[in-house]
Amino acid sequence: MRKPIRRVVTGHDAAGRSVFITDAAAPHVYNRAPGSAVVTELWETRAMPADNSGNDEVTDHPFRLAPPRNGSVFRIVEYPPDKERLPALASEASGQRGNSIVRAHSASKDARERADDTRPEPGSSARAGT
């Protein structure tokens, strides 16, 4: 079992002092199946210059590879060893496995239900809908 990635988010209180907003495992982790890459979303900006005001969760959305227009994405992509990854790719190429990316865990059940997506995982040569 892989170890969760810790994410620390800081902000400011009403008096302008630095405070910790969250210090926990990253809440949005995506993977397709055993042997596939695991994507941990850490942070996202949606405009340039970035607006980091507020305490809203910025990674609470279905998986998408590209960053938002005029935005950025900070993520970690973990690829398993070849002995796990290559059989998974062969299975995918032969059509034995679907192309949906699922959220491995998230902050809420509703968020997990919204996470089903049909785009290929990073590093995959598969195309959605094939």
pLDDT digits (tens, 9 = 90+) for 41-63: 999 888 888 887 777 788 888 88
pLDDT of residue 50: 84
**Which residues, given as ranges, of the chain have pLDDT below 70?**
1, 96-130
Give the pLDDT confidence score for residue 115 in this predicted structure.
35
The SS3 call for residue 78 is strand
Beta bridge partners of 6: 25
Give Cα separations from 104 to 31, 53, 60, 74, 110 (angstroms): 6, 28, 13, 18, 13
Q: What is the pLDDT of residue 121?
A: 45
* Inter-residue contact 11 to 21 (CB < 8 Å): yes
